[in-house]
Amino acid sequence: MLVLVAACSQPGTGVALSGATMGTTWHITYIPSEASPRPEQLRTVLEGLLVDLNDSMSTWQIDSEISRFNRSPVGEWVPVSGHFGRVMAQALHIGELSGGAYDVTVGPLVELWGFGPVQPRMELPDERAIGTARERVGQRYIEFDSDLQRLRRLRDVELDLSSIAKGYAVDVLATALSGHGIANFLVEVGGEMRVAGISPRGDAWRVAIERPEPGARAVALGIALEDIAVATSGDYRNYFELEGRRYSHSIDPRTGYPVAHDLVSVTVLAEDCMTADGWATALTVLGADEALALAEQHGLAVYLMRREGQRIVPLYSSAFAPWLDQSTLTE
């Protein structure tokens, strides 16, 4: 799901870099400093970091760190890199706080319902198939030793960090920019983003949250952001219809079925994009009422959109309220 960038810059005041990664695209806009490297040098550094992250967490690469772990013998400890360990620690933490609504072992169910690297389903899976897939789902079957940075499988489950890896990639690139003396930037990977300082326009970065309408592009809310990350998740782009019913790509790991509630979009603001990315997915699974209650419990800045008939109704947590002061709401 996209969070659309609505920041325009004056010609010559900012630098824009972009490319492809993680099956999607990345974009960076920044204001150069006297100490920052030339754009082509910076691009080389950033692309090297993205290659490292793909080598660690891409399930599409058979020799990646995560692919090798998924093939490791059950019960055998596997050392993990710093990148992998940081993402796993946060993923397991969000999974625990969400009561299992977020689970990085949900892959077998995602594939069963036709949202993995297979063709769309022409028929619905039966209860037996769902039950079999659920036996291979559950973060309780993953043991992470944070002190020794090692991981092991207690059952034949597999990890898929795609729901949080893009957010982490944003953080890695943002840290690299700061390390090169760049204080004002926007980093975006696959729609998840993080901003720092001011835009080339001289004021806050302006970001638009997309209105959840299939087949259309419209803005629901525009917000001014400084020094924060933002991620959006929803079910209005990736779904299939069968026998007159729509099936969302958001699978509830606790039931084995696609979510069927009225929550269609979740936007989360957080200090880092990895956290925002993971929570956006978790809250999408929970549904509007439970998501809002959990957001209040943990002080999360969350903006929700639920569908009531033909209307889209916004909801937001108290931690998000301050960001609405300078926002523009589109009915």
Looking up residue 125, the CATH number of its domain turns out to be 1.10.3980.10
Q: How many domains does the chain have?
A: 1
Contact 159, 144 (CB under 8 A): no
Distance, CA of 282 to CA of 103 (rounded, Å)? 8
Within a domain: 311: no
Within a domain: 147: yes
pLDDT tens for the 331 residues of the chain, in order? 444 444 443 444 799 999 999 989 999 999 998 889 999 999 999 999 999 999 999 988 999 999 999 999 999 999 999 999 999 999 999 999 999 999 999 989 888 887 765 555 567 888 999 999 999 999 999 999 999 999 999 999 999 999 999 999 999 999 999 999 999 999 999 999 999 999 999 999 999 888 876 656 677 888 999 999 999 987 655 655 656 666 667 889 999 988 888 898 999 999 999 999 999 999 999 999 999 999 999 999 999 999 888 888 999 999 999 988 655 554 4
> E strand or H helix at 270, and its extent?
strand 263-270
Contact 187, 173 (CB under 8 A): yes
Separation in Å, CA 194 to CA 119, 143, 184, 265: 33, 30, 11, 19
Q: In the numeric block, which tokens belong to residue 147?
A: 């002190």
Within a domain: 88: yes
Within a domain: 281: no
Distance between start and end Cα atoms, the chain: 20
DSSP 29-94: EE---TTSPPHHHHHHHHHHHHHHHHHHH-TT-TTSHHHHHHTSPTT--EE--HHHHHHHHHHHHH
pLDDT at 220: 80
pLDDT at 25: 95
Distance, CA of 77 to CA of 121 (rounded, Å)? 36
Contact 15, 29 (CB under 8 A): yes
Contact 106, 160 (CB under 8 A): yes
**303 backbone dihedrals φ, ψ, rounded to 5°:** -120, 120
pLDDT at 4: 42
Within a domain: 86: yes
Quote the domain boundaries for residue 109. Answer: 62-162
pTM: 0.90
Within a domain: 93: yes
pLDDT at 166: 96
Q: In the numeric block, which tokens belong to residue 205?
A: 């970065």
Select from 192, 142, 139, 147 the least CA-distant residue to 165: 192
Within a domain: 149: yes
Within a domain: 112: yes
